[in-house]
Structure 1
Amino acid sequence: MSKSPMPCKKGPGVARSDGYHVQYHLGKRWAYHRLVAHWAFGPCPDGMEVCHSCDNRWCCEPTHLRYDTRSNNLHDIKKNGRVYRKLSQPLADAIRREASTGRRQQDIAKDYGVSQTQVSLIHRKAQWV
C-alpha cells in the first residue's frame, strides 16, 4: 500500500468499467493516471507501465504513481490482495461467440468480470486471436 502522506485523488469525470478514468489531451485518449505520470515523470520508458502504490485503479495522485515493469506490477497486485484475472483461451472464445450474436458488450463484460474494452478487443480479434 502507499506510503505517501497524500490521500488518493480521483481523476476527472466518470471511471470506465475497468476502474480507470480517461482524458483526452492533444487529440489522444489517455488513461488519466498515465497522463498524470507523463506530466510528473516524463514519458514512460519502453517496457514499463504506470503502477499504483495505493492499488487504487482510479487514483491519480502523482506520489502514488511510478513506472515499473509488468512483472513487478503483477507482484504488487498479488501482494496487496487484489485479484488479477487473466482470461483463458476458452473464455475469450466464449466472449467472442457471444459478441458475434449482437449481445451488448457491456452485458458480456459484466458476466465475465472484464471491461467492455476487453470484450471489444476480443471481438475485433485485437486480443486473444
Structure 2
Amino acid sequence: MPRKTTPAIERLNSKLVEVPAPPGSTIQSPCKIFGGGKFHNGYGAIQVDQKKVKAHRLAYEDEKGPIPPGQYIRHKCGNRACCNVNHMELGTQDENFYDCIAEGNQIFAKPHHVLFKVLKCLDDGKTIQEIADDLRIDCEEVESLSEFWDYFGAEFGYRQEILAPFGKAGKDQLHQWLDERLVENRQAYNGAVVLCNEMSQPQPHSQAAS
C-alpha cells in the first residue's frame, strides 16, 4: 500500500515560526519564518511534486490563488524567509528588484555588486541584452547603471584613493556611500517618471471669466 504523503502546504505550515518583523520595517505583525531548507538567496525551499519551490510563493498561492504572469511577490517586511501572506504584495520585476536594493538583499548581496557586475560585463564586450539576460534585469537598467557610473565613477575613484589607507573599514565606507548613491539615483528616477506621467495627463481647460 503506497505511503500517504502530507500535502506540501501542511508541511510548510508545520515549519513556520513567528518572529518580530525586522527593525525599521513598517510592518507591525510578526513574520512567519520558514524553518526548513533555504535556497542560496535566502528564500525558503520546499519540495512539491519532486521539485523544490519557494515556500513563500506556495503560501501566497494557497491563500490568494495563482500569481499572474509577469508579477512577482514583494516582501513588505523585507524578510525573504517570511511566509506571512499579509506581508506580501504583487509587483513588477523592477519593483521587486529595487525593494531588494533598498534592503541590501539583491542576489549579488549589495547594490554596488550589481553595478560592478554590469561594468565587468561591458568591459568584456557583452551586449546590453546579454548582460540583462545574465543578471535578470532589463536593458534599461543596464543602461541606467552605465550612465550612473559615467556620472559618479570619477568621484568613486577619488574617494577610493582617500579611503584606501583605512583597509576594510575604508572599503566598507566607500561601498556604503556608493550603495546610497545608487538608491538615491533610483528614487530620483522614479520621481521624475511620476512627474512626467502627471504632466502628460490632459489638463482641464479653465473657463474664462465672464
TM-score normalised to structure 1 length: 0.58
**Could you list the runs of 5+ residues in structure 1 that have no partner in the other structure?**
92-126
Letter in 2 for 1:67: L
Q: CA deviation at 1:59?
A: 1.0
Q: 2:81: which partner in 1?
A: 58
Distance 1:2 1:25 in 2: 31
State whether structure 2 residue 37 is matched by structure 1 residue 14. yes
Which protein is richer in helix relative to its size? 2
Higher relative contact order (CA 8 A, sep 6+): 1
Does structure 2 retain, via aligned residues, the 8 Å contact 1:4–1:64?
A: yes
Distance 1:41 1:76 in 2: 22
Distance 1:80 1:3 in 2: 13
Letter in 2 for 1:88: V
State whether structure 2 residue 67 is matched by structure 1 residue 44. yes
Q: CA deviation at 1:27?
A: 3.5
Letter in 2 for 1:70: Q
Letter in 2 for 1:13: G
Distance 1:33 1:89 in 2: 33
Does structure 1 retain, via aligned residues, the 8 Å contact 2:37–2:46?
A: no
Q: CA deviation at 1:11?
A: 1.1
Computing the radius of gyration from Cα coordinates, the structure with the larger value is: 2
TM-score normalised to structure 2 length: 0.38
Distance 1:7 1:51 in 2: 16
Does structure 2 retain, via aligned residues, the 8 Å contact 1:37–1:66?
A: no
Q: CA deviation at 1:40?
A: 1.7
CA deviation string 1:8-63 (max 9, x = no partner): 11114132321111011233321111111111211110110111001111111111
Q: 1:73: which partner in 2?
A: 96
What does 1:118-129 align with in structure 2 at a 5 Å threshold?
128=134
Aligned-residue sequence identity (percent) comes to 28
**Could you list the runs of 5+ residues in structure 2 that have no partner in the other structure?**
1-23, 122-132, 135-210
Which of the residues 1, 22, 27 maps onto 2:50?
27
Q: CA deviation at 1:76?
A: 2.6
Q: CA deviation at 1:67?
A: 1.5
Count of residues in correspondence between the two structures = 93
Distance 2:103 2:57 in 1: 21
